[in-house]
Amino acid sequence: DFLFEKDVHIYKPTADGLPEGGDSSATAAAPPVTQNPDTAFAVQFFPEGGDLVGSVHSIVAFKAINSQGLPIDVSGSVYSEQGDTLAAISCVHDGMGSFSLIPKAGVHYFARVTSAGGGSKTFELPAAKTSGVVLHVKNLHGKLFFQLSGSPDASASFGKPRIVVQESGNLVDYVTLDF
């Protein structure tokens, strides 16, 4: 249930844009995109636990890539729709980094990011949910620590949460938690 398998065919394009060993009936490769390299980048945001939850401290990871999908260094800041600066963004390794945020439900958050090439863009962060639970995992000296935080109504809405630990599809541990 936890594994996915699919054949993926990879072709080496030739000078005429056709797959190696292909013929003229094959679909030609799309023409290269000509964009300013300073503005041809994207940043994706990944809240720990999957979602931002209103009034709950969250760690948000991010990944910055150029138009070829390769990592790039970016820096910038996170701000609310009211213009309040809430966090700084800076890559730590391979276009990735993280920042802390305590979002409010119903408020839009943005990241104004500048690439190493000087291009600047603004990205909207995922919206914070009004109710939910955030699981924070910390690795300290080879030991994993779990912190579960929830919105004020989390206990009533979600009951007693459980953590199931599996390795290679085998059950390692099963723990019921209290808020």
Report if pTM > 0.75: no
The pLDDT, as a whole number, for residue 25 is: 44
Question: For 143-170, what is the mean pLDDT?
Answer: 83
The pLDDT, as a whole number, for residue 177 is: 78
The pLDDT, as a whole number, for residue 24 is: 45
Reading the block at residue 119, the tokens are 């291009």
pLDDT tens digits, one per residue of 117-135: 889 999 999 999 998 888 8
Three-state DSSP string of 121-145: EEEECCCCECCCEEEEEEEECCEEE
Question: What is the average pLDDT value for the chain, to the nearest integer?
Answer: 83
The pLDDT, as a whole number, for residue 31 is: 47
Q: How confident is the model at residue 160 (pLDDT cuts 50, 70, 90)?
A: confident
The pLDDT, as a whole number, for residue 37 is: 57
**Residue pointed to by tokens 């949910």:** 129
The pLDDT, as a whole number, for residue 14 is: 61
Strand, helix or coil for residue 159: coil
Looking at per-residue pLDDT, the higher value among 122 and 142 belongs to: 122
Q: What percent of the chain has pLDDT above 90?
A: 47
State the Cα–Cα distance between residues 141 and 132, nearest whole angstrom.
29
Question: For 44-71, what is the mean pLDDT?
Answer: 93
